Amino acid sequence: MTDEEERIRQTREILRGHGGERGKLIPILQEIQARFGYLPREAIKEIAKFMRITEIEVLGVATFYNQFRLNPPGKHPVKVCLGTACHMKGGVNILEAWERRLGIKPGQTTPDRQVSLERVACVGCCAMAPVSVVDEEVQGRVSPTRVDGILLSFELEKEKGEENSK
């Protein structure tokens, strides 16, 4: 079974536990995201078929809420805060720094699946603004240089990992 087939199988399993009324879409999406960490394309197709709506209707609902991801999370999830305080302190510039270095947009994952980027609202550490949450750890007073530093540490860790596996 390919990964894709496996995801279809698991999606169908989840769907079996739900009724087909439209109101149920959000709970279904939540359960799928909990299982895979994101909403895989083939899962969206299965959900559409199950709900008897089209794929884009599912996608329209899913993207309306910030809680859903369309790409698998990277090994290192990066969440950039754009809450009011962080925004005032140049959060947008930090987001741009991440985007530039990683070559991806918020909601995307680098092709090597190492880093995923997301934008979030206030994470409650306004005093440390601008804030990025990296690997579930809050990084305060982030600057573009700090972004480079964090990425470098990912690189080093990856190299170490490769060496160990040799």
Partner 1 sequence: MDTVDLIIDGITIKAPKGEKILWAALDNGIYIPNLCALRWAEEPHAGCRLCFVEVEGRADPVTSCTEPVAEGLVVHTDTPQVRRLRRTAAELLIAAECPDCGACAKNRHCELQRIAAFVGVKLKPKRLRPTPKALPVDASNPFFIRDPNKCVVCGKCVSVCSEIVGANAIDFTFRGFETTLRPFDVQPVIDERCESCGECVAICPVAALVEKDLRWPKEEVKTICPYCAVGCGIYLGLDEGTIVGVRGDEENATNKGTLCAKGRFGIADFVHHRDRLTSPLVKRGRTFSQISWEQAIDLMATEFAKYRGEEFALIASAKGTNEDGYILQKFARVAMGSNDIDSDSRLCDAPSLEALGHSFGDGAMSNSMDDIERAACILAIGTNPTSSHPILGQRIRRAARKGAKLILANPREIDLCRLSTLWLRNRPGSDLALLMGMMRVMLDENLADLSFIEERCQNFEQFQDCLRDFDLGLAEEISGVPQELLKEAARTLATHKPAVILYGSGLTQHSQATQNVLALANLAMLSGNMGKGSGLNPLKGQNNAQGISDMGALPHFLPGYQPLSDPQSREKFERAWGYPLNPNPGLSLTEMLEAAAEGKIKAVYIVGANPALNMADIRYVRKALRRTKFLVVQDIFLTETARLAHLVLPAASFAEKDGTFTNTERRVQLVRQAIEPIDESRPDGQIACQIASRMGFEGFEFDSPSQIMEEIARLVPQYGGISHQRLTEAGIQWPCPTRDHPGTPNLHAEGFSRGRGRFAPLKYEAPAELPDEQYPLMLTTERSLYHLGSMTQKVEGLMRLRGEELVELNPADAANLGIADNQWVRVISRRGQVKAKARITEASPPGVVSMSAHFAKGAANLVTGGELKLSAVRIEKAG
What residues line the site for ligand FES (CB under 6 A)?
81, 83-86, 122-126, 129, 131
- The answer to whether 106 touches 71, Cβ cutoff 8 Å, is no
Closest CA relative to residue 81, chosen from 116, 107, 119, 109: 119
Task: Please identify which residue in 23, 64, 67, 137 interacts with partner 1, judged by CB under 8 A.
Answer: 64
Distance of alpha carbon 134 from alpha carbon 102, whole angstroms: 14
Tokens (6 digits) for 78? 């990066």
Task: Please identify which residue in 4, 12, 54, 160 interacts with partner 1, judged by CB under 8 A.
Answer: 54
Q: Please report how close the Cβ of residue 78 comes to ligand FES at its closest, in angstroms.
A: 14
Q: 120: which DSSP letter?
A: E
Residues in the interface with partner 1 (CB under 8 A) total 11
Q: Which residue is nearest to ligand FES (CB)?
A: 83
Distance of alpha carbon 72 from alpha carbon 34, whole angstroms: 12
Site for partner 1 in 25-44 (CB under 8 A): 44
Distance of alpha carbon 52 from alpha carbon 5, whole angstroms: 21
Distance of alpha carbon 157 from alpha carbon 152, whole angstroms: 9
Helical H segments across 37-143, by residue range: 41-51, 55-64, 84-88, 91-102
Nearer Cβ to partner 1 (31/55): 55
Region of 46-54, 71-79, 84-92, 152-160 interacting with partner 1 (CB under 8 A) = 46-54
Q: Answer with the entry of partner 1, ligand FES, none that 92 interacts with (C-beta below 5 to 8 A by kind).
A: none
Region of 53-61, 77-85, 89-97, 131-139 interacting with partner 1 (CB under 8 A) = 53-61
Q: Answer with the entry of ligand FES, partner 1, none that 63 interacts with (C-beta below 5 to 8 A by kind).
A: partner 1
